[in-house]
Amino acid sequence: MRNIIKVDFYKLKNSKPFWICLALSLLFGIIIMVGLQQAMVMAQQPRHDPDLDALLDMIPHASGAYLLSSSMSYGFHIIFIGVFVAVFISSEFSFGTMKNTLSRGAGRIKVFFSKFLVCSAAALTMLFGFILTSLLTGSIIWGFDPHGIVTASGMISMLLMQALLTVAFTALFTFVSMTMRSNGGAIAVNIMCVTMASTLLGAISMLLFGGRFDLSHYWIGGAISKLATVTPVSGDIIQGIFIALIWGIASMIFGTTLFKKLDVK
């Protein structure tokens, strides 16, 4: 197991998709803060686009910490992680590396867990890279927390929950990528998990329950949005932990089960 993980970390170190996605994550953190600053300036103009009115409520609270939480709530930074995991894992099948690894006697469960651990390390690197550039850029523009809203415990809770939920998403991405084994398909499904799953679950909830019960509240993306705040509620934190564990463990169980049955060529 240790040797498999060591080899996968070596592959990660030399992976161009990882460094590209990491660079994009860092750049995205800067772009989103600069973009918000420009949009806020435009929203205060006498003749502005009505679509910018929502930003007027954010202006009195603007700070690096506050707008970091706002930007994370959309979860778009997770897309880079989904794309990386799809490319990193699917390429192993495309180039025949996976077949060679298994032919040398490596256990399939060990291989799956190794991919998950290495991809989780990459995902957390991208997450905290995005957080760092967002927070630094936002703090330069508005200050870190000029309104005194943020507490150390609140910031730590937000960061830890975002990290846990990101790892849960990574488990799901690993499951999808190890099962589909193709770059295009895995990338498409992983992106859909980030961008469309909440909307789809919400629509299903309306059809089945008439809005009385919303399945999207129990989706990883929904938990990321709810817990992207520097003032988290304890009940939301507990629910977020359960959501991360359930989706993460389920992805690992189904992923390893299917991978053991796959015919790797």
pLDDT at 214: 81
pTM summary value: 0.91
pLDDT at 94: 81
pLDDT at 151: 87
3-state SS class at 103: helix
Length of the chain: 265
pLDDT at 136: 95
pLDDT at 56: 78
Query: What is d(CA 208, CA 34) in angstroms, rounded to the nearest whole number?
Result: 42
Q: What is the pLDDT of residues 178-209, one digit of tens each?
A: 998 788 889 999 999 998 888 888 888 888 87
**Segments in the chain below pLDDT 50:** none
3-state secondary structure 13-71: HCCHHHHHHHHHHHHHHHHHHHHHHHHHHHHCCCCCCHHHHHHHCCHHHCCHHHHHHHH
Contact 22, 125 (CB under 8 A): yes
Query: What is d(CA 72, CA 227) in angstroms, rounded to the nearest whole number?
Result: 9
